Amino acid sequence: MRSIIIDCDPGIDDALALLLAAGSVELAILAVTTVAGNRPAPVTAANARKILDLAGKFAVPVYAGASRPFGGSDARCNLVHGEDGLGGVVLAAAGAVAPGHAAQKLVQLLQEHPADTLELVAVGPLTNLALAEMLSPGVLRRARRLLIMGGAVHVPGNITPAAEFNFYADPQAAHIVLGAQAEIVLFPLDVTGKAIMDDAWIGSFSALGSRSGRAAAAMLAAYAAQDPLLHDACPVAYLLEPGLFSGAPCEVAVDWRSGPTEGHVLAYFEERRGAAFAPNTLVITGVHNADLLALVHRRIAGLP
């Protein structure tokens, strides 16, 4: 069993990632931390609590985090997932969000556990991780790996031609985290754009007859019309079955400056003239989609 922390901004695809983790006995979820992203910070924290309660993970604490990006402006939220972030699907929350700030909790957990033992999955804007690194320089290097959904390398962004949403929402944070010299596996739009769900697969969750299955089917049906991709499930699936994915080491930086290329990923996959090749990230670009869909369905089928 591997200990993980999930930093997220639920969001329907975040909800699916949480359900996938909750349904996998190999993973011990120590905490879920949340950030403003798909919706404002209070909404994403409440949504994470609802999803964990839905999955029967009442003991897993949720800690709310950053409400705005490093630049100090308002959060760059979207409405892809609906006003409530869950496509209008009503879920009851039995528990409450835990006291304390997500960034401080990340520092605490990473310092309390031996180095190279915690896996940190980040599937929203990276503000909480960057704040943790600022609070305790070097703390992100204590994680065994950072598995990050964000960026677009060889493909266009989904917010601007240059930028994917998570990196666009807080490019300064992405710049800090990718430069923290931690072990990073990056899941950009290059791979998540291939993680495609279809109507039959979404409908199959209803047939499970469980509360988690019914909720997954309803949320995904609301989401698929806008963006039928399993973005945030990919890093969790990689923890479970890395052979489903392919990628290559890469030297990555993020353009954090305001302007048309804000949030753009600059990636070098080989040595370039006048500069040594110094890869700092494993960039995932391929996925066996049918096997990914089967894995997600199989694990959610085991939930209440």
Q: Hey, which residues are catalytic here?
A: 231
Residue 142: Cβ-neighbour burial (10 angstroms; 0-12, 13-18, 19+) = buried
DSSP 142: G
C-alpha distances (whole Å) from 231 to each of 112, 149, 302 are: 30, 7, 22
Angle between helices 233-240 and 12-22 (to 10 degrees): 20
Q: Is there a contact between 37 and 169 (Cβ–Cβ < 8 Å)?
A: yes
Question: What residues contact 179, with CB distance under 8 A and at least 6 apart?
Answer: 253, 280
CB count in 10 Å sphere of residue 1: 8
Closest CA to 2 of 277, 238, 199: 238
Q: Is there a contact between 180 and 140 (Cβ–Cβ < 8 Å)?
A: yes
To which H or E segment does residue 122 belong? strand 118-122
Rounded to an integer, what is the distance from CA 32 to the centroid of its chain? 11
φ/ψ bin of 69: left (φ > 0), alpha (ψ from -120 to 50), beta (otherwise): beta
Closest CA to 37 of 79, 9, 67: 9
